[in-house]
Amino acid sequence: MNGTQPGLTVGAAKKIAQDVEDEIVSKLPAESIRAADQEATGVLMPCSAQGAYAWTGGTTIELSPSADPSKLISMVLDAYRDNSELKPKDITKNGRARAQLVGPYGSGYIIADYQNGHLEISSFSPCFVLPPDKAPEDEY
């Protein structure tokens, strides 16, 4: 599903992305997480040649010492296996466990094992048309 999500504002795009980040964290066992730190702001990235943008942000998850990052990423893949909106893909590469959730209107979420006791969620909201009174280089 390409294109832009009709009527989506910067604030609504940010909320969608951050809500999915929170939802991903909620799929993990509480005893595996020491802390989850969501970025308060993000930036806009172009997502089409026609001037559409996606809000990008992220959440860093500090894992408990006994947590197995690969197993946690597998749990995320399993949790979204039957999701009608976010399609999971295993994108593990070079021994580094990673998963991607591909959503509508160019949205996506990558959950990666940084092999330092942390998982990182990188989020990309659905694409939207930026109103003329907003600057793409601003932080949102």
First to last CA, the chain: 25
**pLDDT tens-digit profile of 68-125?**
999 999 999 999 999 999 999 999 999 899 999 999 999 999 999 988 999 999 999 9
Residue 2 has pLDDT above 60, yes or no: no
Tokens of 91: 């994108």
CA distance 22 to 51: 28
Contacts of residue 64, Cβ cutoff 8 Å, sequence gap at least 6: 31, 32, 33, 34
φ, ψ (nearest 5 deg) of residue 105: 55, 40
Between these two residues, 136 and 25, which has the higher pLDDT value? 25
Percent of the chain with pLDDT over 70: 99
* Total residue count of the chain as it appears in this document: 140
* pTM across the whole model: 0.94
Integer Cα distance of 4 and 127 in angstroms: 5
